[in-house]
């Protein structure tokens, strides 16, 4: 039996069986004409009564005329009381779109850029200092003394403070970006999108979901939404490049840092554009 996700009251819920959707509808907690549903195998969310395998589950019992009495034909211009109820919303993706994006706080890309660049430049300078000390000592035939390496090592760790500050602000922006997609995507909630990035090893995969999938879902949402023709489009290739360069940086260490930071800042600028587009409306 198919399990269904459904959106009601601005929240994504499920999965639940059809019987549970029927129960919710009878209690007034689910509107099959207005609330969207989705299951594995569907390309997009649709109102429940627009799906063939669900439509009959929410049809009211047909009106039956008394025995021997014919159902009268409606007069001209009169609504037939025995006709099946008409859907009040077209299917998602048909061009109707959503009227408004969720409200979020504005993003500040400048803060992300400043903190990130200060941290990265400080780290590169500190590594350069450290390598210079090691080279100077080894070229003279002596091992680098621990005292000579202490200061650049301390500066390397201190450089992590502004860098991590910029990264945390960027995660806040990413969270708001996923808020904009709710409940029109089943791939992630805002909390999962950010939280799963902290799971060791699994986050190597999740970076692709949190960033690349976000760009894909955002473009799909605005493409199906004529109410927002000025919404910014995302470069899906650039969002794919970020987790790839992040993985490369993990392998190459400081030598892969510059490409990753360039792509990261471009990605953060794009997320901030989407967030600020929704914030000012």
pLDDT of 212:
96
Q: What percent of the chain has pLDDT over 70?
A: 81
Residues 6+ apart with CB under 8 A from 152: 126, 127, 129, 130, 133
Read off the pLDDT band of 60 (50, 70, 90). low
Nearest to 257 by CA among 123, 142, 141, 158: 123
Mean pLDDT of the chain: 80
Statement: residue 238 has pLDDT above 70: yes
Return the pLDDT at 8: 79
Tally the C-alpha atoms within 13 A of residue 106's C-alpha that lie toward its C-beta: 8
**Bigger pLDDT: 10 vs 82:** 10
Domain boundaries, the chain: 4-58, 109-279
Q: pLDDT tens for residues 102-156? A: 889 999 999 999 999 999 899 888 888 888 877 777 776 666 566 677 888 888 8
Q: Which whole number is the average pLDDT over 28-39?
A: 83
Provide the pLDDT confidence category of residue 218 given band limits of 50, 70 and 90.
Answer: very high
């Amino acid at each position: 039996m198919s399990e269904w996700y459904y959106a009601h009251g601005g929240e994504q819920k499920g999965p639940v069986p059809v019987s549970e959707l029927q129960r919710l509808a009878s209690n007034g907690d689910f509107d099959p004409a207005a609330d969207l549903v989705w299951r594995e195998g569907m390309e997009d969310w649709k109102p429940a009564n627009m799906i063939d395998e669900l439509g009959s589950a929410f049809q009211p019992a047909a009106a039956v005329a008394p025995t021997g009495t014919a159902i009268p034909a409606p007069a001209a211009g009169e609504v037939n009381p025995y006709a099946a109820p008409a859907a009040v919303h077209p299917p998602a993706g048909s061009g109707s779109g959503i009227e408004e994006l969720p409200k979020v706080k504005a993003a500040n890309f400048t803060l992300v850029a400043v903190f990130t660049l200060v941290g990265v430049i400080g780290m590169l300078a500190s590594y350069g200092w450290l390598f210079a000390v090691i080279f100077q000592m080894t070229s003279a035939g002596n091992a680098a003394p621990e005292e000579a390496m202490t200061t650049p090592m301390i500066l390397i760790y201190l450089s992590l403070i502004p860098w991590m500050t910029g990264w945390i602000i960027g995660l806040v922006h990413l969270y708001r970006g996923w808020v904009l997609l709710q409940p029109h995507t089943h791939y992630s909630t805002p909390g999962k999108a950010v939280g799963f990035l902290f799971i060791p090893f699994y986050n190597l995969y999740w970076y692709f979901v949190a960033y690349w999938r976000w760009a894909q879902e955002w473009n799909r949402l605005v493409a199906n939404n004529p109410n927002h023709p000025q919404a910014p489009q995302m470069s899906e290739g650039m969002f794919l490049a970020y987790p790839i360069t992040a993985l490369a940086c993990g392998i190459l260490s400081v030598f892969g840092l510059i490409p990753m930071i360039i792509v990261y800042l471009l990605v953060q600028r794009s997320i901030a554009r989407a967030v600020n587009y929704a914030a000012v409306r």
